[in-house]
């Protein structure tokens, strides 16, 4: 194995059902229900998934949801903004922890 | 503006080369095997309700995904003699719809004659229009001519933003398309419930499948009205076929095998049962008969060698054509993926 990630491995996702079909079926049933049209459109959900894919930095998910976003009618401007939302939340999450740093520093400092 | 494969002397200008690429792919099982698996082989026509005439390959645009390899340099065009043969055969039938395509069909000098003859015989006529042709100085009266004959305009507009549209259809095409749509609206096209029909066609701007037709139609309706005050009747989603210039794009970008796999994985038996070749007769610029416009561009004529040209179509032959065996190949995966794809958009809902 020369690398942990291979694009064609995405096609093997369903192999996870071989270890425990019941859990796989439950997961897939839930997964399908989550992405079905509801209060949010399928297109909006795909954009959220794309942002989350970048936040969790999953190359499989980035591949799948970049394609899904295009196939739901989104454009690269919208997809870029979704990635920036993920970036802002990740960056903001780091920055807001600076409050803890300040709390500790204030307590220790004269 | 790009150049056609033919003018670039690209090997893919040869249909033999395209068919070689399509038949040697390892990304999908042979299309005919999939049809056999679902009990649909051999695929047969179920009638003829669409008489589709391709009047030639001349076009004022050179779109990147064009399955015709159309462009300003193409000289293939239907003569009056062949157009007359088409009308003669049409008159022997009750086929309700005449679908005129190209190239930019309006640039053929016999286009208006065909429209007049078909509408005079009570047939519904469709013009597959690239929109920008309506703004050419030589076509200044084209829009009013179409409206006067109640011709349904099916117009290509791949996206409601300039960057995507121009990437597929050429620099500045979006702006011209918007101007042409506004012109059509002004003379009565696209109004709900009355007036001649204005329908749009969405093609993906790349190697992916179209969105759900109803969803993208709603997006187009909202965006075009909000930004340009444009109204239309319906939007049809059409999948890009892996032939000609779109095949070139797929191969150039290393997307070919993945795209064929995507199409094959999305094979939909319901869409396969409803493909447009089952109710269409396609006539080429030189009068050769085909099952569809895609087979036409791959030089795959009708299976029945006895009827190859419009001049050979008699009333008896027409009866046979209505349940003829259809020539299929791996390119057909383009019409059977997802919700399916036809000249009238998605095949299933």
Given a cut of 70, is residue B1 above it in pLDDT? no
Contact A43 B208 (CB under 8 A): no
Residue B216: burial class (beta carbons within 10 Å; 0-12, 13-18, 19+): buried
Is residue B83 predicted with pLDDT exceeding 80? yes
Helix axes A76-96, A59-71, angle to 10 degrees: 140
- Chain A positions touching B211 (Cβ under 8 A) are 43, 71-73
CB within 8 Å: B161 and A75: yes
Q: What's the distance, CA B306 to chain centroid?
A: 26
Distance CA B44, CA B140 (A): 43
List the single best residue of B158, B164, B168, B208 to mutate versus A (max A Cβ within 10 A): B208
Residue B346: pLDDT band (50, 70, 90) is confident
Contact list, B159 vs chain A (CB under 8 Å):
75
Chains A, B: CB pairs < 8 Å: 27
- CB of A96 within 8 A of CB of A103? no
**Does some domain include residue B281?**
yes
> Does B346 reside within a domain?
no
Of the listed ranges A2-11, B301-310, B331-340, the least confidently predicted one is: A2-11
Q: For an interface test with A, which of B215, B235, B238 has the most A Cβ atoms less than 10 Å from its Cβ? A: B215
Query: Would you call A73 and B164 a contact, using CB atoms and an 8 Å cutoff?
Result: no
pLDDT band at A1 (very low <50, low <70, confident <90, very high): low
- Is the bond preceding residue B161 a cis peptide, omega within 30 degrees? no
pLDDT-derived band at B287, boundaries 50, 70, 90: very high
**CB < 8 Å to A6, chain B:** none
Confidence band of B135 (pLDDT split at 50, 70, 90): very high
Question: What angle is formed at CA B332 by the lines to CA A67 and CA A7, rounded to 5 degrees?
Answer: 30
Q: Is B309 a domain residue?
A: yes
Beta strands at B124-129 and B50-54: parallel, antiparallel or unpaired: unpaired
Q: Tell me whether residue B349 is in a domain.
A: no
Mean pLDDT value across residues B102-115: 98
pLDDT in tens, B5-53: 999 999 999 999 999 999 999 999 999 999 999 999 999 999 999 999 9
**Per-residue pLDDT for B216 more than 80?**
yes
Cβ–Cβ below 8 Å for A72 and B161: no
What pLDDT does residue B139 have? Answer: 97
Would the CB atoms of B209 and A71 count as touching at under 8 Å?
yes
pLDDT at A2 over 90: no
The arithmetic mean of pLDDT across residues B212-231, rounded, is: 97
Query: Given an 8 Å threshold on Cβ–Cβ distance, is B164 in contact with A70?
Result: no
**Statement: residue A11 has pLDDT above 90:** no
Domain A19-108: which CATH number of 1.10.3720.10, 1.10.443.10, 3.40.50.2000, 1.20.1290.10: 1.20.1290.10
pLDDT tier for residue B124 given thresholds of 50, 70 and 90: very high
Find the helix packing angle between B213-228 and B173-186, rounded to 10°.
80
Cα B257 to chain centroid distance, Å, stands at 24
Looking at the predicted structure, is the pLDDT value of residue A47 above 80?
yes
Please give the pLDDT value at position B193.
82
- Is B105 part of a structural domain of the chain? yes
Q: How much is the average pLDDT of B118-127?
A: 98
Cβ pair B268, B336 in contact under 8 A: yes
Please compute the mean of the pLDDT values over residues B101-110 and round it to a whole number.
98
Q: Are B228 and B299 in contact (CB under 8 A)?
A: no
Number of domains making up chain B? 1
* Residue A7: closest C-alpha in chain B: B258
What is the average pLDDT across A50-54?
98
In this prediction, what percent of chain B has a pLDDT beyond 90? 94
* Radius of gyration over every alpha carbon of chain A, rounded to an integer in angstroms: 19
Phi, psi (5° rounding) for residue B292? -160, 170
**Smallest Cα distance from B206 to chain A, Å:** 9
pLDDT at res. B349: 67
Task: Please say whether the beta carbons of B246 and B259 come within 8 A.
Answer: no
Q: What value does the mean pLDDT of chain B take?
A: 96
Question: What's the pTM?
Answer: 0.91
Residue pair A61/A53 in contact by the 8 Å Cβ criterion: yes
CATH number where B129 lies: 3.20.20.70
Question: Mean pLDDT throughout A2-31?
Answer: 93
- Residue A9 C-alpha, separation from nearest chain B C-alpha, in angstroms: 13
Q: Looking at CA atoms only, how far is residue B160 from chain A in angstroms?
A: 10
CA–CA distance, B216 with A73 (Å, rounded to integer): 6
B330: containing domain: 11-336
According to DSSP, residue B309 is labeled B
Cα gap A29→A17, rounded to integer Å: 12
pLDDT score at B238? 95
Annotated domain spans of chain A: 19-108
- Percentage of chain B with pLDDT > 70? 99
Bridge partners of B56? B77
Question: A14, A80, A71: which is closest to A46 by C-alpha?
Answer: A71
Mutate to test the interface with B, among A43, A70, A73 (most CBs of B within 10 A): A73
Cα dist from B176 to B81, B147, B181, whole Å: 34, 19, 9
C-alpha span between B188 and B181 (Å, rounded): 11
The reply to whether B190 falls in a domain is yes
Residue B173 lies in a domain: yes
Give the span between the Cα atoms of B329 and B308, in whole angstroms: 19
Average pLDDT of the segment spanning B69-76: 97
């Amino acid at each position: 194995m020369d690398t942990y990630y291979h694009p064609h491995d995405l096609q093997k996702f369903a192999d996870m059902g071989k270890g425990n079909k019941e859990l796989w079926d439950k997961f897939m049933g839930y997964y399908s229900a989550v992405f079905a049209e509801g209060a949010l459109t399928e297109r909006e959900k795909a954009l959220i998934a794309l942002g989350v894919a970048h936040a969790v930095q999953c190359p499989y998910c980035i591949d799948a949801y970049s394609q899904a976003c295009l196939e739901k009618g989104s454009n690269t401007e919208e997809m870029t903004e979704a990635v920036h939302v993920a970036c802002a939340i990740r960056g903001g999450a780091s920055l807001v922890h600076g409050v803890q740093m300040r709390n500790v520093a204030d307590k220790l400092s004269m | 503006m790009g150049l056609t494969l033919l003018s670039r002397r690209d090997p893919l200008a040869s249909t033999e080369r395209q068919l070689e690429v399509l038949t040697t792919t390892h990304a999908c099982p042979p299309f005919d095997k999939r049809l056999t698996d679902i009990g649909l082989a051999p695929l047969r026509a179920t009638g003829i309700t669409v008489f589709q005439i391709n009047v030639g390959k001349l076009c004022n645009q050179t779109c990147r995904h064009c399955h015709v390899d159309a462009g300003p340099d193409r000289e293939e065009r239907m003569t009056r003699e062949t157009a007359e043969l088409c009308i003669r055969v049409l008159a022997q039938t009750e086929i309700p719809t005449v679908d005129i395509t190209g190239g930019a069909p309006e640039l053929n000098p016999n286009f208006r004659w065909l429209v007049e003859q078909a509408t005079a015989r009570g047939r519904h006529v469709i013009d597959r229009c690239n929109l920008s042709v309506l703004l050419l100085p030589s076509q200044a009266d084209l829009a009013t001519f179409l409206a006067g004959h109640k011709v349904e305009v099916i117009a290509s507009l791949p996206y409601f933003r300039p960057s995507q549209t121009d990437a597929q259809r050429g620099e500045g095409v979006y702006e011209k398309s918007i101007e042409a749509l506004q012109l059509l609206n002004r003379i009565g096209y696209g109004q709900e419930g009355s007036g001649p029909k204005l329908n749009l066609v969405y093609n993906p701007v790349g190697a992916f499948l179209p969105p759900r037709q109803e969803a993208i139609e709603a997006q187009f309706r909202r965006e075009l009205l909000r930004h340009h005050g444009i109204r239309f009747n319906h939007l049809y989603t059409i999948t890009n076929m892996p032939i000609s210039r779109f095949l070139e794009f797929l191969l150039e970008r290393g997307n070919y095998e993945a795209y064929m796999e995507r199409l094959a994985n999305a094979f939909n038996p319901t869409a396969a049962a409803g493909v447009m070749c089952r109710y269409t007769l396609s006539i080429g610029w030189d009068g050769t008969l085909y099952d569809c416009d895609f087979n036409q561009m791959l030089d795959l004529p009708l299976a029945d060698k006895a009827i190859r040209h419009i001049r050979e179509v008699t009333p008896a032959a027409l009866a046979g054509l209505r349940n003829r065996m259809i020539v299929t190949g791996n390119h057909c995966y383009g019409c059977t993926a997802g919700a399916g794809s036809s000249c009238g958009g998605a095949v299933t809902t």
